Amino acid sequence: MNKRTDNLYLSLEGDRYTPFSLAKKLGAEAILESASFSQGSARYSILMLEEAFHVIEDEQGVAIVSEGQRKPCDSRNILEALEKIAAENEKPPQIPLPAAGIGFLSYEFCARCDTIHLAKQKDGLQIPESEFVVGHIYIVFDHFTDTLHLFGLNYDEHEIDLSEAFARIQKKLSNLDFSYLEASTEKYPYRIITDLQKSHDEYVHCVKELKKRIVAGDIIQAVPSRRLQIESQMPALETYRRIRSLNPSPYLLYIDFGDYQLIGSSPESLVRSHGGKSSIRPIAGTCRRGKNEAEDEQLKEKLANDPKERAEHLMLVDLARNDLGRVSKPGSVHLTRNMECELFSHVIHIVSEVEGENRSDIKPIQVLQSVFPAGTISGAPKISAIEIVSSLESEKRNFYAGAVGYLEANGDLDFCIGIRCTLKKGNIYTLQAGSGIVYASDPEREWEETNEKLGALLQVLETKEK
């Protein structure tokens, strides 16, 4: 494929800006940031300022949607369509650039990756199975050098006058008010729509049924989930601001799809494939945070030595090694982190990292398909666990436990798992959380674990800021 030669690039001093203040003042369509309690901020943040078109996959197939018009794509699935779009432009050296947009793959996309038979479930959200927003204008922040990298991309599917767009963005930047962007403390009334007692009873029943299937030898571990819906008029971008402040995580995300917005602070990478190497970062094993540093240390030690949590984590590390092993060079899969306890805003998790070298005949999107969905939100054996949980959950998961991320022009990719995320459609926020079920699981404790995982998002929507 011949690469386009009309893309534009400009480097600007960025010491006066922050990603969120610029996103708010320029009206960004999407934001990707990274931070954590243990490691601080990552090097790059990404803003999409002007969208080109959307790529969706639904029951009708894969399509490009632009200005209300739908054009079918000749691709077997959305990943193949995105790979073709990304390849139209050159990859800039060293700098991550979402050349095929930013978006999500639903959990149900797993049925397109393997021979998986999902039960017929209610589609409660009424949104595409998967969707990406492709952008014309991006700003990539380099926090190490205080530099703004401004990129303009055109596509065979949609073109604009990039020079005019750059001039418009530069004018906006030169006219920006650099005064402090005061954080809103406005209280937004909220109402929990979900029947919590019914949700509790259904989840506990699900856990008990899964324990029966474990005893029967059908599965070793499974991850059921529960949905929570809240009515609130809090703007989506304000929700993102409060989440990034309260719960800094390796994958902070805000994507405006038009009819709905996806906001989140995912702690867990699904897969990162870069320069011929791929890595998975399994997170399994959870307990609450302590009231102070001393209690945190006590809880970390207790978690690290909990037989049930250790067994669950080791099982999922083995699953990650197996998933990556199918697409890696023989003997190249190894652990780069092993069972480290990591602090998050409301919980402590056990974290490992598995890395492998891609086989020469394997593309990054094939790596993604091999590991999708993550074992930490499906179970083991993976396919059996997925199918059994699907028969017990009444609604499609959609964004929850799927993947959120982007592809670069050379095919490299970075996707997180769609957990600790909320989808806003109208004034309804949808949240979801699950827990890993093994033979020793206590149903009531598993319910409490889902509450702990929902804690940061609930605190934001209940506007109980510190």
Residues belonging to the active site: 349, 376, 400, 420, 436
Sign of the CA dihedral 29, 466, 34, 396?
negative
Q: 167: Cβ–Cβ under 8 A, 6 or more apart, which residues?
A: none
161: amino acid identity, one letter: D
CA distance 426 to 291: 36
> CA–CA distance from 138 to each of 103, 151, 169, 225, 272 (Å)?
15, 5, 10, 35, 21
Tell me the C-alpha distance between 29 and 255, whole Å: 6
Give me the sign of the Cα torsion angle 354, 359, 364, 370.
negative
